[in-house]
Amino acid sequence: MDLTGRVAIVTGSGRGLGLAYARALVAAGASVVVNDVDQQAVDAAVAAIGGDTVGVAAAVGDTASAELLVGRAVETFGKLDVLITNAGILRDRVLWKMTDDDFDAVIGVHLRGTFTCARAAAVRMREQGTGGRIILIGSPAGQRGNFGQTNYAAAKAGIAAMARTWALELARNEITVNAVIPVAATEMTKTIPAFAPAIEEAERTGTPYPAWLRHDEGLGTVEDVTGLITFLASDAAKGITGQAIGVGGDKLSLWSHPAEKAVVYAEGGWSADAIAAAWDFEQETYGIPAPKK
């Protein structure tokens, strides 16, 4: 998959998944703006990746940071073709313990940061008139909900909705917008009790993750996610937009859009008593399923 001549921004690429995305894009021939809130992490990432990279230390969220990132891409490489909105933080608490600051901080980075960066990128891509790729990073928590993650799940659900909305708005400009739903062994997932022993054993011995983890749970290394990112940034994916696509371990999936599962009608409308009498819907599941092992 050749990305020679493409220019990309990857937010939150100083470490973890973002670093893997940036490394894969450079390996495919792209020039990349590496971003993290921490200058040391930015410098280390640029040094580790090599190639045509430039670093920008900035906290994603406000308009100024978004415009700084786009401006640096254009100033250094002359244009912008790809944006990957990966930056994020966690402030996990159950509902009754979550503070305003916990909620606002996560929404500010994930949801507002995705919005401001995508807006700045869309303005530039539309001016260039050569199309583009906007790849938003979602989460299974945003698709299904997750205990203790009111703020994170809400932000990631909003990101999937924004991908579908922007795919409509930017179609005429040949700018595709998709949400990627990655599942990988990061510093966060390594702490999940069901996964931790298998991940620790694989990293200690240098052996692959077990089949039940890679296949059944669809969880692998951060590098397992990068093929989808490279593909979506390429010409091969020019017809794919408005989708939520999952990837992890041995698993690639397409998430369905929300749809009416069952419908019944009552002439004249529905009273509370009528609803109670007619309610016979098979309810949807919620929450990320527990590991099968």
DSSP assignment of the chain equals ---TT-EEEETT-SSHHHHHHHHHHHHTT-EEEEEES-HHHHHHHHHHH-SSEEEEE--BTBHHHHHHHHHHHHHHHS---EEEE-------B-GGG--HHHHHHHIIIIIIHHHHHHHHHHHHHHHHTS-EEEEEE--HHHHH--TTBHHHHHHHHHHHHHHHHHHHHHGGGTEEEEEEEE-B--TTGGG-TTTHHHHHHHHHHTPPPPHIIIIIS--B-THHHHHHHHHHTSGGGTT--S-EEEEETTEEEEEPPP--------TT---HHHHHHH----PPP-SPPPP--
Which entry of 152, 209, 265, 286 is annotated as an active-site residue? 152
At residue 194, the pLDDT reads 75
Residue 209 a catalytic site member: no
Segment 237-240 long-range contacts (CB within 8 Å, at least 24 positions apart) = 237/133, 237/176, 237/178, 238/131, 238/174, 238/176, 240/176, 240/178
Domains of the chain: 7-255 (3.40.50.720)
Tens of each residue's pLDDT in the chain, 293 residues: 899 999 999 999 999 999 999 999 999 999 999 999 999 999 999 999 999 999 999 999 999 999 999 999 999 999 999 999 999 999 999 999 999 999 999 999 999 999 999 999 999 999 999 999 999 999 999 999 999 999 999 999 999 999 999 999 999 999 999 999 999 988 767 767 778 888 888 888 988 888 989 998 899 999 999 999 999 999 999 999 999 999 999 999 999 988 899 999 999 999 999 999 999 999 999 998 887 76
Instruction: Report pLDDT for 290.
Output: 80
Amino acid at 154: A
Contact predicate 125/73, CB 8 Å: no
d(CA 281, CA 243): 27
Token reading at 283: 């309810």
Please give the pLDDT value at position 60.
97
**Residue 112 to residue 195: CA distance in whole angstroms:** 31
Using only C-alpha atoms, the chain has a radius of gyration, in whole angstroms, of: 20
Amino acid code (one letter) for 70: V
pTM of the predicted protein model: 0.95
Give residue 281's pLDDT.
Answer: 93
Sequence-distant (≥ 6) Cβ neighbours of residue 154 within 8 angstroms: 107, 111, 142
